[in-house]
Amino acid sequence: MNGADDITAAQLRRARDLLGWSEDELALRANVDAESIRQFEAGRYPPSPEQRGAIRGALVAAGVELTDGAYPDARLRPDDAPDKGIHPSELTTENDR
């Protein structure tokens, strides 16, 4: 991955699965069109950097850690892990509350 707003379709599906969120729920939380999320997950639509940042921000705010490296993945932040908040580079108008 090459930026704070990058997220792969596989990471997005995994993160939604971990949280038990539908595309519609994520869309509501990220203030992104649900159809854009469906198209991204299906590999047919590359979201804008702003959309990616909003999606990533909503997932991180809900406790998801997105990992990069050779095998990007998503996992839930352990309950005992300190909340690092949202990194300034990941702030959007939707998660800057």
pLDDT digits (tens, 9 = 90+) for 22-55: 999 999 999 999 999 999 999 998 899 999 999 9
Please answer whether residues 53 and 5 qualify as being in contact, where contact means their C-beta atoms are separated by less than 8 angstroms.
yes
Question: Which CATH number does the domain housing residue 62 bear?
Answer: 1.10.260.40
Residue 37 domain flag: yes
Cβ contacts of residue 41 below 8 Å, gap of 6+?
Answer: 9, 12, 13, 23
**Chain mean pLDDT for the chain:** 85
Note the pLDDT of residue 82: 56
User: Is the model more confident about 93 or about 22?
Assistant: 22
pTM for this prediction: 0.76
Across the range 69-94, mean pLDDT stands at: 73
How many other β-carbons are positioned within 10 Å of the β-carbon of residue 21? 18
Residue 1 domain flag: no
Residue 20 domain flag: yes
CA distance linking residue 40 with residue 45, whole number of Å: 5
Note the pLDDT of residue 97: 55
Residue 84 belongs to what domain range?
9-90
Residue 97 domain flag: no
CA distance linking residue 57 with residue 18, whole number of Å: 16
Domain count within the chain: 1
Residue 68 domain flag: yes
